[in-house]
Structure 1
Amino acid sequence: MTSVKPLHLVNSILPLHYDLQLELCPSKVNFKATEIIDFKPGTQGEGLLQRFELHSRDLVILSATLNDDIAVKVSYDKENQLALFNLDQPVDVLTMERIQLTLKYIGKIKTIKTREDETSGVFKTNFMNQETGLSDNFVVATHCQPSYARSIFPCVDEPSWKTTFQLSIKTLQKYEVVSNVGQLSSVADDNQDYKTVRFGVTPLMSTSVFGFVLGDLEHSTSQATMTHSSRRIPISVYSPMNIGDSIFCLDIVQKYLPLLEEYFKADYPLDKLDFVLLPFLTDMAMENFGMIFVQMNHLLLPPSMLADAKTREQVQQLVVHELVHQWMGNFISFESWEYLWFNEAFATWCACVLLEHTGDIPNYWTSSEYLQNQVENTMRTDAKIETLSISAISKKNTTSLTSQTHDFFDPHSYMKGIAILRSMQVCIGDELFRSALQEIFQEARFHAKPIKPIDIFVRMGVLLKSENIAHFFTSLCQTPGLPVVSVEIVKSESAITTRLTQHRLLTAKQKNLEDVPYHVPLLIQLPDGKIDQKNVLLTDRSTTLNYPIVVCNHDAQGFYRVSYESMECYDQINKEVALGKLSAIDLVKVFSDLSFFVEHSAKNIHMVGLYSLLKNLASNEMDLEKNKEYWAGLCEGLKILDLPKLKSLKYNCASSEILDFKAGILKPLANKINRMNFKNPDQYQLEVMSQLKTLKKN
């Protein structure tokens, strides 16, 4: 597909409201429709209208009239998925009391038979009637994201434009019918076989989150008691089958919908919320405003499956993630698919904040699932020279018309986005970060028009009186790679100073590489156990502190690596470990960063530091039975000894000293462990014992 200019920048009129009247029967391959579009004058031209365009795909427009009496000719640009509307004579839209286009047209109902079939536009699936055994039950649904609304009705099908919608559907009397908002009426036809369901008017929203579903659906209903708005919101789950297995989903919605309203201090924007479980859905989940679609095998789970804690956590993350989108992504929406990474990253970040706060997923942000499986892997990808910035990747992915959401979605940008949001939350402070978000949700302009993510952080900076907030966000989104902060503690007779220097981290040295300083959240832990409040953000190439530190990037909540480059640094860390004052996460992080340096850019001090840390843990003075939290760090440190560079378990220092890891660490550690009485060893203790056996053979 070729790139086309956005219609909201081309047309001299822009839609304000869509009124859709559809007639659907699943046994047919087409649907009939009448559409009434209310427009307003746009910013192009001088008020004279003779030609305009709307997105349209696989729709046959039978008639088009403007203000009931002005005939409009229709032609098509199929390559660019456009319907072209032409008037015989130009009209002055600035003098019109109303600008209303009425269309009658026919659209396609797509048949979905397998998981490989693309769900788009209006699609239908037949499935087995569990009572009769016949496959004569149907569900008809929609999928508008990213640009399939144009397969349902002619429209400006761009995330950069928001309107209101009102929908009527004529279909078989027996079918459940659901859309973005609640029903106003359901009127049976004279022959009683059909009914016409009329829904209310939606809030402002983009075409991508419009939708409806109808068919042979079971449902389970409850209410969510909203503490912020003092309302009771009807909540339901619809499914083609086994509705009893969706009760966990309904429980999650009932618990977290009020918590999200309270978190944002913003009323839930609709009059109800439904989850609809579908046999097939290309994107697995789709956060339509007020009506969330999910592929049913993700949420139809019997008690035997929910007995698994990991399964429950995954379901909770999925459901709460989709709930977050009702506020961020739908109520506040973004002007381009270029920002899909942020939309999805914010939903996951916010969901995990709440799930950790309630205890449903305890200690999430310091879990190995987050720090090792997600952040560590993302940093390793970002350290490669070929990895582009989030901004560059996003622009590259949205340069042309694309058929699938996953064509816009970049997993690396998404994971990095979560880490950026988490580091900003920690650096700014949870309460300040949350209060600024709450203020933003109260400002009508953030809902009235689609925005860029940077708009949020510029406004947050104004509210919190810090320009660095927007610079922080921009730094990590527009600059490729990630930073490494080197730390050097220097002791003299009169003072102790700490020198911090930042550069771009890479897996290999590059000549003539632009090395722009990042905005780095330092998150420094001091020897007294407190977090440094004097030096919070490193924005220059380097800075010198007139006091010692223990570690940077406390609990690994910032997206960067730390290179400790003086023996005094390792002495300080060893001292804190011996006292049991260093967090277990900090020890794991020190070893994780050392592992990267040993693999790619090891300095002599890294080898000496590694030897010192492991020797301290292996010594008899270090009580690992009392300080059980350090087994995870020990396990991470021993993994480094299995790297190719250290396979011999000996390393020659620049000073000609030989670091014999086998004699200095493995033997004393093995002797120490043999003296311990393990009744029920945990996973890290078992892994350390396994590592020792493997390393002894080298």
Structure 2
Amino acid sequence: MSEPSLLLRSKYVPASYSLRLGIDNAKPNYSGLLRVDVSQNALYNGDVKGFSMYLHAHRLIITKAELNLQSGDAIKLLVKTDREKQTIELSAETEEPPVSVTITYLGSIATIRTYHDETYGVFKTNYSDSVSGKSDNYIIATHAQPYGSRCIFPVLDELVLKVQISLTIQTKSLFKVVSNAALKSSHIIDMTEDSLYEFEPTPPILPAHFGFALGDFEVLEDSSARVPIRVLTTKGDSSQARYALDVSVALFPVFEDLLGQYPLTKFDIVALPFLADVVMENWGMVTVIRDKILIDPYNASSDAKYTIRQLIAHQLTHQWFANSVSLDDWRCLWFIESFATFVGNYALSVKGIEASDTTLFEEQKLFAIQDFMDIDCFIDLPLPSPQEYMNGLDVSAAIKTNNIFEQQVYDKGLILLNMIATLFQLENKSSDYTHFFKAFREVTKEYEYKIIKIFDIWNILNRHTSYELLSFAHSWFRHVGYPILEVKVKNNAITVCQNRFLYNNDAQSLNLENSPFHVPLATKVRTDKGDIQIANLMLSDRSMDLEIPPSQLICLNSGNQFYYKTVYSLEILDVLLKNVAENILRSSDLLAIIRDYGKILGQHTFHSDADLYGSSQLNFFIKLAKVLSSESWSIDFEVLKACLSYLEIINSIFLHFTEYTRFQIWLDGVYFDLYNKIDGWNAVLDLKTGDYDPTEYEVRNMILQGASSHKEVQSVCKKLYKNMVSSGVSQRFTAKELFPLIFNVTAANANMNEYKQIMALAKNSDVSLLKHSNGLVQDLQTAAVSSLAFCKKPDLLSKTLHFVNNNIDSKLIELCLLGYKFHHSTQAKEQLWAWYTVNYDLWVKRSLRKGSDWSKQIGIATGNISNLVLGEVMQYRIDDVKAFVDAKEKSLPPHKLQERFERLEAENEEKRAIADLYKDLCI
């Protein structure tokens, strides 16, 4: 249990700090002189006679402490040190009112030599500059979050009090010196090599956001913004800071528009050789490890530039929220960080420094919500609610913020913030989050320089919306997981019911908490006049009746902004699919529905309503595929990718767990219809550069493979393969997304010469083939290796099996057998089964030899091959598989085959549940 706050134990508390430091880079210590102006503590309830004050101090040696009285006298203070608790108690018997405390002390400077050394408190490093190559350059800097300021000077190092800090540093005149506030003055000290650097007083600041840096820096500055903005770098590297500086200057007015006027008079970014937490949001002086901020803008990748834009936008947000307005508990760090990411990414989308920023913001939001839903629904690995996480977190011993930070709670924070901002957007019928930030500016104004609770934020935002935001936020803070909404028809109107969503189970049968969330329905409807509107309704109970005719409903969760899944009754699904065909349903809405139905497909055994679950979910994909392949639907490759990805999963299940033929014929027709619909194949064959849409080419790859039984499609594939393996000035560009298609279809129809050519590439990829492609060597080799079992001729498959057996100790050799996942022919499966059963004993015995890496690798390969053979390919002979497993458990040394098979069978439960729906297919 953490200790009570020092604030409650002190008769007097700091009103301001005046700190003077003497720092010599050649010495392991520095000298400190601290003056603490004090005021009587209104929270103290004990005896008020005399003077006492508690401060934090760690790795500091107090040499003298005096109490300055109102009369002008100074008396010696008694200093009691508690090293375990990292505190000092200052006390004196006096009747006179105190004015200030003066403390003389010594502090230590940690020397940092590697990335593993802790950069905490005050630390120094020397570095080799890129100009002269000399290594006699020094940088001394600080890292104060969460409890590092007590290693810099005696301080009340808690999130309870903000006071002004005035800093003066004596150090080498050749050094550049920077701190939170602007430099007020500097002058050379006579007869020394030193100068005295005096900084303006900070506004009231948390000690955790205090800091300074000094040393051999280069400075790059831009004064075009309202306040000067600088980047300080190691010598010779300032040219690589230009991109970061330009981004900072461009974003600065955007943040002032979103959050209010910047509260300081300058903004610096300091690039350090070492920093354990990578980046630290000191107020007005962000420190960051240099590798994360310095780039050559002419040769850097777009991803590298985007990472820097995100980093700067994130740190700029902290200048307002975290530094100016601060939360009162380190357990809220997840919220502080998620807010900075949310606002930072939004600022980038508003500014549009790069054309892709706006698109990325929307895509990242949508995919982040869906991806997080996929892990936030497991009963055996439950993710805590933010409230549960905070209640179970002990931050008293944290050295780094990484010890406090929890990625999954942070992700939930991003989702919560997005939902709240979207509520403002929908209520005001706005295209952006203008109204949310207008309300939030009231937070930064009212609580400037203050310490608050998260509740205070909701309280202010609540003034600007008709939603009951406090109750909304409370429900999502407290409840675990998220709901699934069931949408049905009742008396020619819509009724919506919510329950907590659990993967492969339900809350009621497990007697788990199933409290209703506050769920924004964001119901998109078509009015009697044909207009499309969004009804801003909030579902706070178990169910709600909506006076909306089913024929006018377009969807719930418009824009896919809110954190829940939705299933629709058959009657509503038919309306929904009609809206898809008429291009009324937005892509983001349809993507959300596809992901929702894909996640719950096969879970009908936990639900009794056949109108919502089971075959209705499966047939949704069947009907949707037909709509997407129709002439009326306007092509969207993201939607096609999502739908076809689930159809591939369904196809794989049906292939191994059903008679399959009926579905195979239907699916072949859908793929061929899509082949004819999207057209543009001549452009694919004649592609001259890498300037194309990767998602489009992923979809084209799927379609060509799915329709590869047709001669027209085979012709395209042959031309792509011929172009790829040929050379000369006529060679066209080959997109890496087409590699699997090119090799799989070629292998499936290969003759002996073509097979040998692919095998040669599998063994040793020809780099020259990549001159006209954006693929890497490993992309090419993986595609070649993975195609070897797509062959249809038994003699070629035999060669592939022989190759795997001879290289069973090679890493990822099992990729050679992936093609068997797509063979419906029992002849091919029987060939694999015979080969597997003949060689299995030898593989296992070789894998059990101790002390060699190749034995371990054989064990890995044998396990992965067994997953394929026992778990999928041979499911049509499940009794023989069980007999094989039983026999090997008895005849071979222990090698956990039984445990592997039981795990595979558990994973196959859902597949069999989907396969049971085969008889109900609407094809």
Contact 1:121–1:149, Cα closer than 8 Å, also in 2: yes
Q: What does residue 401 of structure 1 align with?
A: 397
1:231-250 equivalence runs, <5 A? 232-241=226-235, 242-250=237-245
Deviations 1:172-226, CA, capped at 9 Å, x for gaps? 110000000111110101124000100001011101110000000001111243x
Question: How far 1:482 moved relative to its partner?
Answer: 1.3
Q: What does residue 662 of structure 1 align with?
A: 664
Q: What does residue 292 of structure 1 align with?
A: 286
1:648-659 equivalence runs, <5 A? 648=654
Identify the structure with bigger relative contact order (alpha carbons < 8 Å, sequence gap 6+). 1
* 2:575 aligned to which of 572, 577, 581: 572
Question: How far 1:687 moved relative to its partner?
Answer: 4.6
Contact 1:570–1:612, Cα closer than 8 Å, also in 2: no
Matched, 1:328 2:313: no
Q: What does residue 65 of structure 1 align with?
A: 66
* 1:438 aligned to which of 437, 441, 444: 441
> In the aligned structure 2, how far is the partner of 1:401 from the partner of 1:258?
39
Report the CA distance shift for 1:25/1:576 in structure 2 as closer, same or farther (over 3 A): same
Question: What letter matches 1:12 in structure 2?
Answer: K
Q: What does residue 354 of structure 1 align with?
A: 347
The 3-state SS of whatever aligns with 1:397 is coil
Question: How far 1:613 moved relative to its partner?
Answer: 3.7
Q: What does residue 376 of structure 1 align with?
A: 370
> In the aligned structure 1, how far is the partner of 2:661 from the partner of 2:496?
27
Matched, 1:553 2:587: no
Contact 2:324–2:450, Cα closer than 8 Å, also in 1: no
Question: How far 1:532 moved relative to its partner?
Answer: 5.2
Matched, 1:28 2:24: no
Q: What does residue 196 of structure 1 align with?
A: 196
Which deviates further from its counterpart, 274-283 or 352-361? 352-361
Task: Name the structure with the higher helix share.
Answer: 2
Question: How far 1:237 moved relative to its partner?
Answer: 0.4
Report the CA distance shift for 1:588/1:691 in structure 2 as closer, same or farther (over 3 A): farther
Deviations 1:107-133, CA, capped at 9 Å, x for gaps? 010011111111100000100133443
Question: What letter matches 2:366 in structure 1?
Answer: L
Q: What does residue 688 of structure 1 align with?
A: 702
Question: How far 1:530 moved relative to its partner?
Answer: 6.4
The 3-state SS of whatever aligns with 1:233 is coil
Q: What does residue 229 of structure 1 align with?
A: none
Question: What letter matches 1:615 in structure 2?
Answer: I
The 3-state SS of whatever aligns with 2:451 is coil
Q: What does residue 258 of structure 1 align with?
A: 253
> In the aligned structure 1, how far is the partner of 2:532 from the partner of 2:328?
38
> In the aligned structure 2, how far is the partner of 1:207 from the partner of 1:169?
17
1:573-592 equivalence runs, <5 A? 573-592=576-595
Contact 2:241–2:293, Cα closer than 8 Å, also in 1: yes
Question: How far 1:46 moved relative to its partner?
Answer: 4.8
Report the CA distance shift for 1:173/1:530 in structure 2 as closer, same or farther (over 3 A): farther
Question: How far 1:521 moved relative to its partner?
Answer: 1.6
Report the CA distance shift for 1:448/1:666 in structure 2 as closer, same or farther (over 3 A): same
Matched, 1:453 2:454: yes
Question: How far 1:470 moved relative to its partner?
Answer: 1.4
Deviations 1:154-177, CA, capped at 9 Å, x for gaps? 111112221110000000110000
Contact 1:166–1:199, Cα closer than 8 Å, also in 2: yes
Question: How far 1:475 moved relative to its partner?
Answer: 1.3
Between Structure 1 and Structure 2, how many residues are aligned? Answer: 669
Question: How far 1:622 moved relative to its partner?
Answer: 4.2
Contact 1:65–1:72, Cα closer than 8 Å, also in 2: yes
Deviations 1:280-306, CA, capped at 9 Å, x for gaps? 111111111101111111111012443
Deviations 1:380-416, CA, capped at 9 Å, x for gaps? 2321332211122123223532111011111011111
> In the aligned structure 1, how far is the partner of 2:125 from the partner of 2:462?
49
Deviations 1:427-475, CA, capped at 9 Å, x for gaps? 12233322211222222xx124311112111121134354x11111121
Q: What does residue 54 of structure 2 align with?
A: 53
> In the aligned structure 2, how far is the partner of 1:131 from the partner of 1:645?
61
Matched, 1:481 2:481: yes
Question: How far 1:557 moved relative to its partner?
Answer: 0.7
Question: How far 1:569 moved relative to its partner?
Answer: 2.2
In the alignment, structure 1 segments of 5+ residues that lack a partner are 226-231, 653-657
Contact 1:394–1:408, Cα closer than 8 Å, also in 2: no
Question: How far 1:312 moved relative to its partner?
Answer: 2.0
Report the CA distance shift for 1:633/1:460 in structure 2 as closer, same or farther (over 3 A): same
> In the aligned structure 2, how far is the partner of 1:113 from the partner of 1:625?
65
Deviations 1:546-575, CA, capped at 9 Å, x for gaps? 2132211122111121122x1122212211
Q: What does residue 638 of structure 1 align with?
A: 644
Question: How far 1:49 moved relative to its partner?
Answer: 4.0
Matched, 1:417 2:413: yes
Q: What does residue 506 of structure 2 align with?
A: 509
> In the aligned structure 2, how far is the partner of 1:209 from the partner of 1:671?
61
> In the aligned structure 1, how far is the partner of 2:276 from the partner of 2:590?
42
Report the CA distance shift for 1:601/1:239 in structure 2 as closer, same or farther (over 3 A): farther
Matched, 1:78 2:74: no
Contact 2:581–2:632, Cα closer than 8 Å, also in 1: no
The 3-state SS of whatever aligns with 1:274 is strand
Identity among equivalent pairs (%): 29
Question: How far 1:536 moved relative to its partner?
Answer: 2.3
Question: How far 1:595 moved relative to its partner?
Answer: 1.8
Matched, 1:608 2:603: no
Question: What letter matches 2:702 in structure 1?
Answer: V
Contact 1:392–1:478, Cα closer than 8 Å, also in 2: yes
Question: What letter matches 2:241 in structure 1?
Answer: S
Question: How far 1:371 moved relative to its partner?
Answer: 2.5
Report which of the two structures shows the higher radius of gyration computed on alpha carbons.
Answer: 2
Question: What letter matches 1:669 in structure 2?
Answer: Y
> In the aligned structure 2, how far is the partner of 1:224 from the partner of 1:596?
51
Q: What does residue 596 of structure 1 align with?
A: 599
Report the CA distance shift for 1:202/1:124 in structure 2 as closer, same or farther (over 3 A): same
The 3-state SS of whatever aligns with 2:227 is strand
The 3-state SS of whatever aligns with 2:270 is strand
Question: How far 1:352 moved relative to its partner?
Answer: 1.5
Contact 1:641–1:649, Cα closer than 8 Å, also in 2: no
Contact 1:219–1:243, Cα closer than 8 Å, also in 2: yes
Question: How far 1:342 moved relative to its partner?
Answer: 1.0
Report the CA distance shift for 1:659/1:449 in structure 2 as closer, same or farther (over 3 A): farther
TM-score by length of 1: 0.90
In the alignment, structure 2 segments of 5+ residues that lack a partner are 426-432, 685-692, 709-818, 825-923
Contact 1:41–1:47, Cα closer than 8 Å, also in 2: no
Task: Name the structure with the higher strand share.
Answer: 1
> In the aligned structure 1, how far is the partner of 2:705 from the partner of 2:187?
71
Question: How far 1:365 moved relative to its partner?
Answer: 4.1
Q: What does residue 312 of structure 1 align with?
A: 305
Question: How far 1:587 moved relative to its partner?
Answer: 1.5
Report the CA distance shift for 1:626/1:465 in structure 2 as closer, same or farther (over 3 A): closer
Report the CA distance shift for 1:258/1:365 in structure 2 as closer, same or farther (over 3 A): closer
Report the CA distance shift for 1:57/1:660 in structure 2 as closer, same or farther (over 3 A): farther
Question: How far 1:696 moved relative to its partner?
Answer: 5.8
Matched, 1:525 2:518: no
Report the CA distance shift for 1:611/1:687 in structure 2 as closer, same or farther (over 3 A): farther
> In the aligned structure 2, how far is the partner of 1:664 from the partner of 1:489?
31
> In the aligned structure 1, how far is the partner of 2:161 from the partner of 2:474?
24
Report the CA distance shift for 1:126/1:527 in structure 2 as closer, same or farther (over 3 A): same
Question: What letter matches 2:699 in structure 1?
Answer: Q
